[in-house]
Each structure stands twice: as structure tokens, then as C-alpha cells.
Amino acid sequence: MSTKGKNVLPKIGYLYHYPNLDQPNDKFRLDIFISSVPTEKHFDVQQAHFFVNTPAGTIKKTTIRHPWTYKKTASVFAGVVILEDRNKNKKEAFTFGGDLKIDSQESQTICILTSSAPILEINGTTPIQRFFVEELEILFAERQAMYPNHRAYEKLLIEADPLKLYLASLKALIQKFEEFPHKDRKYRQFLHFLYSEKHRLYAVRISLDIAPTLDEIFKTKNI
């Protein structure tokens, strides 16, 4: 039996893949390479944190380390994905939900997260995207606060389609920032970012106009 590649340490800590949206079967993807042995050549991921489903139908934070001897698949839900090295340095991403596959090899564990919605890299070189994630977290926190029983909110989040959740969030933020009476430079730049994404989606025949609202996804009109 061939063991080619089994003993090779990761050549990179993580990698984002961006699909061609003209191809409906293409997915957004984040590959994470976890090893207990650092290479000292890149960001050496020692563990990765995801929000995943449980057999009880709830959401919990799960930490993947190498070696991994548990379930090889999981559903990941909207929230921050945290990559951490042995020095507690962190890299973060935001997902609207997706499917996680885990392949534990001899020298590394590979996590592959795929989604129909963008997986957003959060770093200091993209301040507008970081601001976008901060605003997304506010949106979800506001929806969660409407449910005294958080399990009811989690159930709706589990049922939510990632792409529809992304479109609804984009629509909600455009409306929010359009209603600001005075828009400083930061807010004008952010609105430009939101509209650029809206027009990019229109170009591949994905319309915000027919997308659900967050109220429809989380059924907050009936609370």
C-alpha cells in the first residue's frame, strides 16, 4: 500500500478557494492543515475551532486537533472559524455555514470547509471586510436576542441555507446603512463595498430583490 504524502508536513497552514460564480456547482472553500509538529515556515495551525451541530440538534463550538479520531464530517454553522498556532496566535474567518470534511493522516489532519456562501478571511489588511464581519455579528446577535430560548434560534440557524443567509444579511446591511442620516467617509466606503457585492451577484443572475429577509429566515415577525 502506498504511503506517499502520509509523512509530509503541511506546506501551508490554510488556503482559501474562490469559485467561479458562473458555475453553480462551484463552492467557496477553506482548507486547513493541522499538525502537532511546527514547520516554522508559515502559520502552523495546531488547532481549529468551528461551530458545529450536535446529535441533540444544537450548536456547539468544537476544536479539531491532530490526530483526529472522531467523526469525519460535520455541519458548520454561521460564525467565526478560528485557527490557532502553538503560540496562541490566531487567524480568523467568517462563514455563513457549510460542510466540513476531516481527513486525519499520519503527520497532519486536513479540514476542508465548503459552502455555497462566501467564507470571509478576517485580517488587518482588509479593514472593510473586518468591518463587514463586525456588522454581521451584530445582525446575528440582534436576532438571537429576540429569542429568550436560544435553542429556538439555533434551530432556525441550523435550518438556514448559507447562501440565502448571506443574501439576506447583505440586504439588511444595505438597508441599515442607507438609512443613516449622515454618512461619513467610512460609511460611504462600506456602502460602496456592499453595492459592489450586490452588482457582482447580479452579474451572475443572483438577485437580492428575490432573496429572503433576515426576518423571514428567523421568523422574527411572529415573536
Confidence (pLDDT) at 7? 62
Confidence (pLDDT) at 24? 65
Pair 139, 166: CB distance under 8 Å: no
Name the stretches of the chain with pLDDT < 70. Answer: 1-7, 21-22, 24, 220-223
pLDDT tens, residue by residue, 136-170: 999 999 999 999 888 999 999 999 999 999 999 99
Pair 217, 156: CB distance under 8 Å: yes
Confidence (pLDDT) at 4? 44
Confidence (pLDDT) at 6? 54
d(CA 207, CA 136): 19
Confidence (pLDDT) at 98? 97
d(CA 144, CA 154): 8
Give CA separation, 22 vs 29, 108, 113, in Å. 16, 34, 21
**Is residue 34 helix, strand or coil?**
strand
pTM recorded for the entire structure: 0.90
Domain 14-122: which CATH number of 2.30.30.110, 3.40.50.300, 1.10.287.990, 2.60.15.10: 2.60.15.10
Confidence (pLDDT) at 176? 94
